[in-house]
Each structure stands twice: as C-alpha cells, then as structure tokens.
Copies of this chain bind each other. A is one copy, B any other.
C-alpha cells in the first residue's frame, strides 16, 4: 500500500507524495524512510524521518520529503493502519507433544507444545493455543482467538471470536464462596457455573476470571482487560469496557457497556456501574453501590468534582484551624473587656 492508497483508506487528506510505499511503522523519533508514523500532540512536531506521517487537522504540516496525511485522530489512524498492514503473525501447526482428546472437536490452526485439550472441547478454525495451555472439558473457543502460553481454561468456559488471552491467565477457576458453619469453619458454596466471554475481548497476562457459582460470569464483546485483574464469580461486564491493571471486581457486580475503569480499583459485590461511567485508579466502590455516568474518584467513590472540592477542603484544614484560633483570641479578648 502506498501513501495515496493509505490516505484513501483512512479518508484523510494527502499532502505531498502519494507514491511512498509503507514498509514499517515506528514512533516519530525512530521512524525511517518506509515507516508510517504519527503526531498526536499539538504545537511543534519533533523532527522525524518517517516516510509517511499522520497528523491532526490543527497541526502545521511539515515541509520535506514525507507524505503527510491529515486525519481527525492521528493516533487512531495509526492504530488502524498498523492493524491493517502489519497484523500479528499467525502461527500454524499442531505440536506433536500436544495432547488433544479424541472426542474434542479441534480445528485450530496452531496448537503449541505441551498443550492439553480435554474431551468435548470445541476449538474453531484459525485459533492459536500456545505452549503449555490447559483447555478443560467442554470449553468452546471461537474462530481467530489466540491464547498465549501457560493459560489455564477450566471446563465449560466459552470464549468468543478474535479474542486475545495473554500468558498466565486463569479462566473459570472456582469463585470464592464459603458459608460459615459456626466453630466448624467454612463449607464451600458450590461453584458450578461457567464463564462466557464475547468476541474481540483482550485479557492481560496473569489475570483471573472466576466461574459463576450457580450462574455465569460474563464479559461482553470488545471489552479490554489489563494484567493481574480479578473478575469474581457472577460478575457481568458489558461491551467495550476497559479495565486497567490490578483492578478487582467482586461477586455479582455489574459493569454496563462503555465504562472505563482505572487500575487498582476495588469493587464490592452486587455493585452496578451504569453505562458510560469512568472510575479513577485506586477508587473503591462499596458493595451494592450504584455508580452513575460521569467521572468518579476516591474511596468510597464520589464524583470527581466533589472529590477535588473535598481534597481542597482537607488541604485547607491547617488554615481553618488557625482562623478558628484567631477568632477565639478575638472573642476571648472581647469577653475579657
């Protein structure tokens, strides 16, 4: 694809050469002749040797040899170009050491070394299951999904199409449910449900999604989850939700579509985060809490503006205390007169 075709693909406006062939991609400073790059900032653009440059509408196009394509959102355009021209290399082949149960229905294009796939699993075409993964009985994996090394998928989990599950994830382990039986300690509550993950979901390394206790833990299409995240039993996560690293969602909590959850957020059980809510990092959501659309912060979460006002008031406490002391002085002097 050359720069003219690229401009057409992106619906952008081409400035300069249309015949630059795109052979790679890089950030501005590292980009070379055949590379596409982008500038998402405002103001002066750093120098670059990129062959093809994506810039926003309010940026002064650089003069020089490069093809320049003006687009609405250069970072998005760059992501789209790379996804189009340089998709991840797909693997093929079934390693001899993989152990696939005879009853499993496996059409995967790649199964790595030491993978185990149990009976009654259904693995669709174009799936990659990398070395050391365990895929339990009755698991369903949709077309195009990639599962990186050393993941464990417990029985009866369903994963949709074109998902990416990074290394070390555990999907479908028992939820954490125990009932106290007096001095005898705890009796395990059944964790006999399942997990259902939609299409185009990405889950980061070493994250955990527990199976439902009696129902289903659900993750909707297009949701992106970072590393070391904990999703407890019976949680329902909607579509196009983003959850940053080390966040934990307790049992039965619901996160509706298009929410953005920061890192290290903790949510109590049976909470509900309504569509479009944004929750800042390290925030805490109490059990049963309903979090409406808007930006939330702190523990327990409050609207960002309230949080800031509160914070400013706390910061001003020293001055307030001084003021009260001064007033007391005035009053006591008056009293003394």
Contacts and interface: CB of A to CB of B under 8 A. Distances in A.
A268 interface: yes
B176 A204 contact: yes
A321 B320 contact: yes
Nearest to A268: B281
A318 B313 contact: yes
A208 interface: yes
A93 to B, nearest CB: 13
A217 interface: no
Interface in A119-169: 130-132, 134, 148-152, 154, 164, 166-169
A196 interface: no
Contacts of A75: 179, 189
A186 B242 contact: yes
A205 B114 contact: no
A289 interface: no
Interface in A223-240: 224, 226-228, 230, 232, 239-240
A228 B180 CA distance: 22
Interface string A95-122: 1010100000000000011101000000
Interface string A193-223: 0000000101011111010001100000110
Interface stretch (A12-20, A23-31, A54-62, A63-71): A23-31
Nearest to A73: B179
Contacts of A282: 266, 284, 299
A30 B321 contact: no
Contacts of A42: none
Contacts of A208: 168, 204-206, 227-228, 245
A132 B299 CA distance: 40
A298 to B, nearest CB: 8
B170 A27 contact: no
A210 to B, nearest CB: 7
Contact of A263 (B78, B181, B266, B323): B266
Given A189-B79, A282-B299, A316 B327 contact: no
A214 B328 contact: no
Interface in A266-308: 266, 268, 281-282, 284, 299
Interface in A83-97: 83, 86, 95, 97
